[in-house]
Structures are given as structure tokens and as C-alpha cells.
Amino acid sequence: MPLTFSTNSDALPLHVIAADQLEGWIAAQEGTVATWIAAAGFKAALGEVLLVPDANGAPMMALAGYGSAAKRARGRFGLAAAAAKLPEGCYRLAGDLSAVAVEEEALGWLLSGYVFDRYAKTSGARARLVAPEGVDAARLEAIAAGEALTRDLINTPASDMGPEELEDAARGLATEFGAVFDVIRGEALLEQNFPMIHAVGRASDRAPRLIDFTWGETGPKLTLVGKGVCFDTGGLNIKPGASMGLMKKDMGGAATVLGLARMIMALGLPVRLRVLIPAVENAISGSAFRPQDILTARNGLTVEINNTDAEGRLVLADALALGAEDGPDLMLSMATLTGAARVAVGPDIAPYFTDDDAVAAAIAQAGARVADPVWRLPFHQPYESMIEPGIADLDNAPKGGFAGSITAALFLRRFAGEGARYTHFDIYGWQPASAPGRPKGGVGQGARAVLEALPEVLGL
């Protein structure tokens, strides 16, 4: 089902009723409606639905429970839970919506229609919604389409989503919006000075590559960098099976960046957008890079390899160094980078790092407005010594395990350019259990917060 709003003028009225409003709402209805609701035992619990018939037995309205404020605060997209339970058809929000977060709920309804059915027939919510009055329908549809792209890319297994397929997806997006597309593959990475992308990807028979596309001719320069490790075995420091099970999602940063880029281009934001994706498979073979190898990055910094499973920061480093050469007004990276971030904030929150307090505040406030939870973590200067091994400029996997997300972010900052306006997101990219508007599987994190914050951050 398309993630778009319905234009059906005969859509069934849908009354969204909070639990503390139910008694007053019933009192204002005619007797037969009140009798039907009482007989059905409708309590307006969050996600509860009820169809109310007319005298002939045909539905004349639908009710959706909105629960209590306390229940709503424990999640998001509460109305999407009702959308998943309503029968197929078209609905329009009716009555007093003053207590409803209309824009958030309208987006959640759209996202409830998402389904990943490439390999097996399945379906999402079949109920469609007429765009509520006052909502920017085109904007929400563009956001939903970007989120669907992210989810599709993450959900696709590595057998069908290697570096080449990720390149194809990026090229298709660039073509759709008239962006200028380029890619550097295989040995050409060495020739054009991307040694760490090449080192991480060279063990696979699926050639590593750097995907690069640009869009927009005026406005501030915005560069998005996404980690595109299409599968991560851990390399010679091989992961245990339990840790390898979800590694198809290790390109979740690239997927989220592509989803965000889609939103930006579809909405026509006045920026000069650049998207950089180092796409590799971290495999095992005789040509794999090794522990205690020392690699020289694009910007000349040397890196001692103390764990081949800390490969994401290596490929991002070369891409960030390239991005910095162009002097962007804002450079932002997204990566499924560390387990430490998940331990710190769990799977539902996207931690981010920035030295710019204004950028940090804009993203935090935007995330709260659009129900995309984010949390700032620090570029903590005293930990810089933890990523300096002595034998090389940098250590890709500091010993001890402390502050793993922070040390990874500090590592990346070394490649973003001196004094750069740089922000890094360490996302999870996966919904562990189904929730309203978010089925189990791949999910975008941070993209909607960034999109919402960009006008303030870039002065658009």
C-alpha cells in the first residue's frame, strides 16, 4: 500500500478519544450510539477501536482510543496502533482534535502501512487516512517515503544488498532527483587515495567502493556521510555467531543517510547536498587486513589496527577526509558504529556528538517535536589519549572497553577537518520488537530530527 494520504471524500469519520474525555463525549451523543459503545465495552484505551453502525447496520463512524497522557508518553505514534486494527477503508479525523498531536499521528498512520514483502507475502495496516486539516501532507509523504527507503535497504539481506546493490540504490535515488553521481571502485580506491576503504573491503570478492553524489546548486553546503558496511563478519577478529546475526544492518548509516537525502531532495530544500557512502563487505580471506597492521588514511594520519571488527570508523575516516576537503557548512555522519552506544541509551534513542552547542540544541529540540528521540553525548577531550597508541597516530580499538562510543566519535572527528562544523550519529538502525508505526526490522533514526533542525542550523 502506498504511504500516502487518501483523497476519498466519502471517508468514514474517525473520532480520536482520550480516556478522560470518553464520558463527556458519550454524553453528547444520541442514545443509540451511547448504548452501542456501552455494549461493546469501549474504554478508549490507547489503540482500541470500535465501529459504530447506523440504523441499517452500516458503519457511520469509527472510534479510536487515545488512552491516557501517561500511556502516550511511554511511546509514540499511538494512533498508528488503531490504524493497524481498523478494517480496510478510508478514514478522516473528526471532532475535537485539540488533545491530539495531529502531525505526529498522521505520520505514524502513514508509517503503519509500511511492509517489507520482498520475500514473503505480508501486509501492513490497510486503513488509509485523509490528510488532517492544517497538516503539510506533501512533507509527511516525503518523510514517509524516505523512511521506507531506509527500512527497505536495512531489511534486505546481504545476499541481495552488497556494495554493488547499495550503489545501485544510491544511483537510482540520484537519478530520480537529477543528482550528479560518481563512484570509485576496487583498485581505483588506492589510485585515488582512499586506502582505508580499500583495506577493509579488499578481502571480499564484492569490490569496495566510495559512492558520491551531489544535488542542488545554491545554498549552504551540507555533506552526509553514511557507513555502508553491507555485512560485517568482524574480519580476522571474527564475531561470534550471536553477534553476527544482525550484521546485514551494518549499512544502516548509509541507509539512513539515503533516506534523509531523499527527504531533502523531495522537499526541495535550498542546500548544496553531497552524499558520501563508503560501501564495503568486511570479509575474511588471505587478503584481509590484520590486527597490528598500520594503515595510512587519506588525510595522512596513521592508524594501528587492534581489532578488525572496528572497521566502520576506518571506512568513514577516508570519506570524512574527502568531505572535509570541500569545506561544507555542516558535515554529518551516521553509522551503526558501536555496541557501547546501545548499552548507554538502548535501541530506541540515537546518540549524537557535536562541538556546536547551537547545533546540539537545535537537534534535541527538533527530535522532541517530531517524535524522533535523540540524546547528545560528549566529545570528551580527556579521552583523546585513549585513541593514541604511540606506535601510530591513532588506535582503531582502544583497550579497556571504556567509553567506546565516545572514543569512536573522537576518532572520526580527527578526519572531519580542523574547526569543522561536524555532527556524528551512532545509531542502531533496528526495531527489536514491533511497535505502532514501526514493525520489527530496519528503522531510520535521527533523520527526521536532522531534517527538522536543518532550517535553524543552516539558516534556510
Residue 341 is given by DSSP the state H
Is 249 annotated as catalytic? no
Q: What is the pLDDT of residue 380?
A: 97
Query: Given 3-state DSSP classes, what are the helix, strand and coil percentages for the chain, each rounded to the nearest 5?
Result: 35, 20, 40
Q: Is 239 exposed, middle or buried (0-12, 13-18, 19+ CB in 10 A)?
A: middle
Q: What is the pLDDT of residue 400?
A: 87
Spatial separation of the C-alpha atoms in residues 93 and 108, rounded to whole Å? 14
Q: What is the pLDDT of residue 405?
A: 98
Spatial separation of the C-alpha atoms in residues 253 and 337, rounded to whole Å? 9
Do residues 332 and 397 lie in contact, with contact meaning Cβ atoms separated by under 8 Å?
A: no
Is 313 annotated as catalytic? yes
Q: What is the pLDDT of residue 125?
A: 82
- Residue 184: left if φ>0, alpha if ψ -120 to 50, beta else—which one? beta
Do residues 177 and 217 lie in contact, with contact meaning Cβ atoms separated by under 8 Å?
A: no
Q: What angle do CA 434, 115, 172 make, to 5 degrees?
A: 125
Digitized pLDDT (tens) for each residue of the chain, 460 residues in all: 679 999 999 999 999 999 999 999 999 998 899 999 999 999 999 999 999 999 999 999 999 999 999 999 999 999 999 999 999 999 999 998 988 999 999 999 999 999 999 999 988 889 999 999 999 999 999 999 999 999 999 999 999 999 999 999 999 999 999 999 999 999 999 999 999 999 999 999 999 999 999 999 999 999 999 999 999 999 999 999 999 999 999 999 999 999 999 999 999 999 999 999 999 999 999 999 999 999 999 999 999 999 999 999 999 999 999 999 999 999 999 999 999 999 999 999 999 999 999 999 999 999 999 999 999 999 999 999 999 998 999 999 999 889 999 999 999 999 999 888 999 999 999 999 999 999 999 999 999 999 999 999 999 9
Query: How many CA atoms are closer than 13 Å to the CA of 40, on its beta-carbon side?
Result: 17
Range list of β-strands (E), 157-312: 180-185, 209-215, 221-226, 228-232, 272-282, 294-296, 302-304
Strand pairing class (272-282; 228-232)? parallel
Query: How many CA atoms are closer than 13 Å to the CA of 115, on its beta-carbon side?
Result: 14
- Among candidate residues 239, 272, 369, 376, the one labeled active-site is 239
Predicted TM-score (pTM) of this structure = 0.97
CB atoms within 10 A of CB 382: 7
Q: Where do the domains of the chain lie, and which CATH numbers do they carry?
A: 12-125 (3.40.220.10), 141-458 (3.40.630.10)
- Among candidate residues 72, 92, 274, 313, the one labeled active-site is 313
Spatial separation of the C-alpha atoms in residues 227 and 154, rounded to whole Å? 12
Query: How many CA atoms are closer than 13 Å to the CA of 245, on its beta-carbon side?
Result: 6
Nearest residue to 275 (alpha-carbon basis) of 206, 412, 207, 173: 173
Mention every residue, 6+ apart, whose C-beta is less than 8 A from residue 284. Answer: 203, 233, 235, 236, 238
Q: What is the pLDDT of residue 98?
A: 87
Nearest residue to 99 (alpha-carbon basis) of 74, 127, 64: 64
Would you say how long the chain is, in residues?
460
